Amino acid sequence: MNEVRTAVLGAGSWGIAVANLLRKNSYEVSIWEFDSEACRYLQTHRELPAKLPGIKVDEAITITNNLAESVRSADYVFCAVPAQYLRSALVGSQLTDSGTKPVYVNLAKGIEVGSLMRMSEVIAERVPVEARSGICTLSGPSHAEEVARDIPTAVTVAADDIRIAEKIQNLFLTTNFRVYTTGDLAGVELAGSLKNVIALAAGMLDGLGLGDNTRGALITRGLAEIVRLGAKLGADPLTFSGLAGIGDLVTTCLSKHSRNRYVGDQIGRGKKLEEVLSGMAMVAEGVETTRSARDLALKYHVEMPIAFEVYKVLFENKSPQKAIGDLMRRDQKQEKWG
């Protein structure tokens, strides 16, 4: 039996957590870090205290700044690059000479600004079909800080071809990391991306000192918006009841690990977006995805009042208090999910 070779593109907290997880199953693992200085630091210290404190990168994992070297002979390529940088990271000329046709596994949760593409669509556009054997997305309630510490976690892997999803399911067969499969790639990617917008709103509520009633209403009505847009874009509404949907939504809205909830919390406390982001070591995917969510809602005529208010707070200097007031004063209506 040939040894399984894997490459992880992106040496942030999630990339490191996934790389270590793969190594526990004795696969050959390479991590690509695009920044040469950061790469040298990681090669020397085998840890990233600013993003994943207390976690060491397994000594058997190769760390490189050379993309072509990282993916050479890989059977699986895991894309842990933030959503808005994935396109520029996938340099086709360095991916086509790998000697194999790997399965590309997206790990990012976001929708590209401008193109409004999901991450699997970006991969499909950037990696020639002759240089890959499949594309899928792994998503769900899976904070890197907990996965890296072997805290039991369950996620979903989605692919248009369910056989590709099953390959990834088998790849991650471990005691503390359980993977389910689905054929609803659009639903899983939209769920994972749009929940970050609602998490920003949840953080704003926390920053304002509001209560559980408000948070419960936000999560429920936020899910309704996600389902509406997802259904319009061809996703199965039931997907949003699963791990990638309500599971990840609730986790991200409540967790101390959530970057998006943190950004919202700081804005609720009176800070400006630029000030909050400048003090963060990691990327809050929901900020830019809020732009994409608004644009998708406008393009497809989908009612998403919470997402629109989050957009106004982030980018039009509207106060969170005013946003909540405007949401509460909307015309009365029946509770519907469609």
The question of whether 195 is a catalytic residue gets the answer yes
Question: Which residue shows structure tokens 């400048």?
Answer: 278
Annotated active-site residue in 24, 195, 318, 322: 195
d(CA 67, CA 75): 15
d(CA 211, CA 189): 30
Label each residue of the chain as H, E or C: CCCCEEEEECCCHHHHHHHHHHHHCCCEEEEECCCHHHHHHHHHHCEECCCEEEEECCCCCEEECCHHHHHCCCCEEEECCCHHHHHHHCCHHHHCCCCCCCEEEECCCCECCCCCCEHHHHHHHHCCHHHCCEEEEEECCCCHHHHCCCCCEEEEEECCCHHHHHHHHHHCCCCCEEEEEECCHHHHHHHHHHHHHHHHHHHHHHHHCCCHHHHHHHHHHHHHHHHHHHHHCCCCHHHHHCHHHHHHHHHHHHCCCCHHHHHHHHHHCCCCHHHHHHCCCCCCHHHHHHHHHHHHHHHHCCCCHHHHHHHHHHHCCCCHHHHHHHHHCCCCCCCCCC
- Closest of 142, 257, 239, 154 to residue 190, by C-alpha: 239
Contact criterion met (CB below 8 Å) for 52 and 88: no
Residues designated catalytic: 195
